[in-house]
Amino acid sequence: MQNVNYQSVIDDEQVLLEVSNGAYAFMNKIKANSITSIWLKLSKFITESLKAQKGVLLPNLGTFRVGPIVGETSRKKIRPVFSLLEGRYGNVSQEKNRYVVGGNSPIIQPNYSLLASSSGLHRHACQRILFEVLQRLSIYVLAGRVLKVSFPGLGILQTNRAGRLEFQFNAFLMEAFEHEREKLMPEMEVADTAEKMYDQNEPDIRHGLKQVYLHDPPLLRPASATSSMRPSTGGSIASSYRPGSAMSLPSTTALSAASGVTLRPRSASSRPRSGSSSRSGSGPLSGATNIPVGSTTRRTTSTERIRRLAHQPYDSADLLDLWKLCSSQDRLRSGCVPRLTMEGWLHKEGRDVLSQVNDATVMELLTVHTHGKAGKHILYKPFLDALKALLRTSLPPQGRVVSGSVVQESAISHDASSMLSGGEGPGPEFGSRSRSASPSGERERRPEGAHFENHDEEEAVRRPRGRDGS
């Protein structure tokens, strides 16, 4: 029996060496350098995920989480923590974390496809190697061995002097979080009361931490938008009016007395025409267009909204909703979403798109843009681009656009009827005969006993006859 020194320190080199000498690595001829490369790539993946405000779940070992420290009211410090799995390592003595991390940052699993492509192995082999490494590491943790496992660039999982297990993060990683906090905190100062009054329909513009929820976050607005959206100090009642709200405007005399402007009734000649487009055509402010509203709040917000929508990748609202759903689902930015999820979104959110495109075409596009051998994922961006191209090529049945004017379907049908009455083109019997012969649009089948010597005779039999039978 081989002598084992149970007092020796278990490091990452010993764990990786045991995995490289294992049966799976020997049968699949996986070298030790490849296993070391996978371990380095895993550490780098966890580091980049923590910097992107995402936690990572290591199978059979523990969870890395990141978020704001609970209890910090003046300044929010962002710190990462590591904890073992509670159910598996309930009896293992673990050092208590210095920070209690809050927020709802997402927790992801290692991207085995990315790790496999960077290490030059198959995805299944990469996943199996990482599983064996973490499994052996968990065995040593449960056995109570002294550990000093290094995650390059991330930290060290070690046993301290008190015999408790702790994870000591890299000093450079903690310094990066400290610099990020110093860079973000000046933008997170609480604004004064006047700057908090802005259009509630517009979304908050948050800087820096976008995927970590901060407890009671302050209202963040850019300096230009805050200065333009600040209400006027003249005390105008009309400046506080917002279209679409339930607040009713006071009378015209009250408005004129509050704003200090005399309102003159509009004459019939100054009224806008019914065909012209104006902002004061109807609504509560139609008779008070001369009221100084202080700041152009609605004009500024509509302009910003138009600029924001101008950079959207799709004009169709359904395609845009599908793209947003896929982008929110694809947290790793791999470009893929599950096929079942995409089909469910198509039936739920893209009914108008499915009504304009043939079902067989949609299924063919799903098959073409399937990613992976299992066929469970879809490359959503090329798929949506293909749907966009199909929607552009398919014209609406009401008419078509020619040099800025719309030619109605009635005019097209009139030209077609005159063309048929003049004798040009095929007769009506040909159309009815072809539709009755093949309602599905397929070509006629060849008779079983028919054999053709050349293609001319075959095409002569297949070609339908005209009115005179020729």
* Residues 202 and 163 reside in one and the same domain: no
Q: Render pLDDT for 103-156 as a digit per residue (tens, 0 to 9).
A: 788 899 999 988 888 778 899 999 999 999 999 999 999 988 999 999 999 999
* Residues 46 and 83 reside in one and the same domain: yes
* Residues 21 and 145 reside in one and the same domain: yes
Return the bridge partners of 408, or none.
399
| CA dihedral for 28, 29, 32, 34, sign (positive or negative) | negative
Q: Render pLDDT for 152-172 as a digit per residue (tens, 0 to 9).
A: 999 999 998 888 899 999 998
* Residues 160 and 217 reside in one and the same domain: no
Would 243 be classed as within a structural domain?
Answer: no
* Residues 127 and 176 reside in one and the same domain: yes
Q: Render pLDDT for 15-56 as a digit per residue (tens, 0 to 9).
A: 999 999 999 989 988 899 999 999 999 999 999 999 888 999
* Residues 29 and 150 reside in one and the same domain: yes
* Residues 225 and 141 reside in one and the same domain: no
* Residues 173 and 63 reside in one and the same domain: yes
* Residues 35 and 77 reside in one and the same domain: yes
Instruction: Name the residue range of residue 217's domain.
Output: 191-229
* Residues 177 and 195 reside in one and the same domain: no
Would 87 be classed as within a structural domain?
Answer: yes
* Residues 72 and 209 reside in one and the same domain: no
pLDDT over 60 at 85, yes or no: yes
Residue from 249, 240, 244, 258 nearest 297 by CA? 240
Listed residues 199, 214, 229: the one ending a domain: 229
Listed residues 368, 393, 418: the one ending a domain: 393
Would 150 be classed as within a structural domain?
Answer: yes
Would 310 be classed as within a structural domain?
Answer: no
Q: Render pLDDT for 420-468 as a digit per residue (tens, 0 to 9).
A: 444 444 444 444 444 444 444 444 444 444 444 454 544 544 555 555 5
Listed residues 358, 393, 428: the one ending a domain: 393
**Number of independent structural domains in the chain:** 3
* Residues 62 and 96 reside in one and the same domain: yes
Asked whether the whole model's pTM tops 0.75, one would answer no
Would 207 be classed as within a structural domain?
Answer: yes
Would 301 be classed as within a structural domain?
Answer: no
